[in-house]
Amino acid sequence: MSEQTRLLVLGRQGSGKGTQSMKLAEALGITHVSTGDLFRREVARNSALGRKVSTYLDKGALVPDDLVIDVVMNQTADLAGWVLDGFPRTMAQGQALVDALDDSGVDLAIELDVPVHQVVGRLSLRRVCDGCGAISVAVADDDSIQLCNACGGHVGRRPDDTVEAIELRLTSYDRLTGPLLIWLDSLGLLATVDGMGTADEVFQRLLAVIAERLVLSVETVDAPTSG
């Protein structure tokens, strides 16, 4: 594991991939790149990109592949190590990433596994700070707005955490991200980690899997050929 580690974190909406990706980036000294956060920032700034993507985000629909691929390539071009949170999500995005990286490649793709019926409950209680992006869990499923302890920003429901948008996002996860997971697995890049439990419990599982898988891949490369 090093500052050049390149990780993908995948998982259903509400699986905790945002929280875990942030923790991983901090622990490994790599950059956290979240396409969802990036798009939300652009929408808030009302930039040209933000105006292009806002209708997709509101509906819970995926932003077109070419646009997302372009944004991610720009973001990662000068970085040695990163954890990509929310990208790739389709076969086309996965293919584009692998092609662009060539030999340097991706070290590991991790899927946080949380059953559908669990994530729906989590999403209804998920609250996000519009200032610093901190994610918290509400005590009740209501629309009261709180102030963020860290930055004083407004902590509320994400605009796309509505019943309709959640349903669309979960459906496209199975339909579009499902085949990508199978493909990543066929390349030997996928590790599935149980996403149930507290954030700390899940994080310990992630660290264990990363240590195991990354050490293993280094040994496989370095092992002297016998025979």
Q: Side by side, which strands form the sheet with 82-85?
A: 31-34, 82-85, 6-11, 108-113, 190-194
Residues in the chain: 227
The interface partner of residue 60, options being Zn ion, ligand ADP, none and the CB cut-off 5 to 8 Å by kind, is ligand ADP
Question: Would you give the binding string for ligand ADP spanning residues 159-198, x where CB under 6 A is met?
Answer: -x--------x-----------------------------
- Judged by phi (left if over 0) then psi (alpha if -120 to 50, else beta), residue 44 lies in alpha
Q: Does 158 participate in catalysis according to the annotation? A: yes
The interface partner of residue 87, options being Zn ion, ligand ADP, none and the CB cut-off 5 to 8 Å by kind, is ligand ADP
The footprint of Zn ion on residues 142-161 (CB under 5 A) is 148, 150-151, 153
How far, in Å, CA of 40 to CA of 170, rounded?
19
Residue 122 neighbours by CB under 8 Å, 6+ apart: 14, 16, 114, 137
Q: Coil, strand, or helix at residue 199?
A: helix
CB 165, min distance to ligand ADP, A: 7
The two tokens of residue 61 are 């629909």
Q: Does 17 participate in catalysis according to the annotation? A: yes
Residue 165 neighbours by CB under 8 Å, 6+ apart: 58, 59, 60
The interface partner of residue 57, options being ligand ADP, Zn ion, none and the CB cut-off 5 to 8 Å by kind, is ligand ADP
Of 6, 17, 40, 157, which is the active-site residue? 17
The interface partner of residue 132, options being ligand ADP, Zn ion, none and the CB cut-off 5 to 8 Å by kind, is Zn ion
Interface with ligand ADP by CB under 6 A: which residues? Answer: 13, 35-36, 39, 56-57, 60-63, 68, 86-87, 89, 93, 160, 169
Active site residues: 17, 89, 126, 158, 169
